[in-house]
Amino acid sequence: KREGKLGGGVRRTCDSLWRGRRAASGAAHCVTMSAAEVEVDEISKKLFELLDSFPRMHDRCVAPLAEGRRGALVLRGAVRMLSTVVAVSDASKAQESKDRFKVLLSRAKWTPQESLLEDLGGCGGTKGLKERIESMDVDREYVVVVVGELGPDELYCVHDCLRGVPSVPDIGPWLYVLDHGAERSRSRPGFSYAALKPFRVAPD
Q: Does residue 46 contact residue 91 with C-beta atoms inside 8 Å?
A: no
Q: Which pLDDT band holds residue 176 (cuts at 50, 70, 90)? A: confident
The DSSP code sequence of the chain is ---S-SSTT---EE-S-SPPPPP--TTTT-SS--HHHHHHHHHHHHHHHHHHT-TTHIIIIIHHHHTT--EEEEEEEEHHHHHHHHHHHHH----SHHHHTHHHHHH-EEEEHHHHHHHTTT-BT-TTHHHHHHHS-TTTEEEEEEEEEEETTEEEEEEEEEE--TTS-S----EEEEGGGTEEESSPPS--BTTB---EE---
Edge-to-edge strand ranges of the sheet holding 154-163: 109-112, 71-78, 141-151, 154-163
- Name the residue type at position 55: P
Instruction: Tell me the β-bridge partners of 142.
Output: 162
Q: Computed from CA positions of residues 72, 77, 79, 84, in that sequence, does the dihedral angle turn out positive or negative?
A: negative
pLDDT digits (tens, 9 = 90+) for 111-132: 999 999 899 989 999 999 999 9
- Name the residue type at position 120: L
Q: Which pLDDT band holds residue 168 (cuts at 50, 70, 90)? A: very high
- Name the residue type at position 194: A
Instruction: Tell me the β-bridge partners of 109.
Output: 74
Q: Does residue 170 contact residue 60 with C-beta atoms inside 8 Å?
A: yes
Inform me whether the pLDDT recorded for 189 exceeds 90. no
pLDDT digits (tens, 9 = 90+) for 95-105: 999 999 999 99
Q: Does residue 158 contact residue 149 with C-beta atoms inside 8 Å?
A: no
pLDDT digits (tens, 9 = 90+) for 60-101: 999 999 999 999 999 999 999 999 999 999 999 999 999 999
Inform me whether the pLDDT recorded for 16 exceeds 90. no
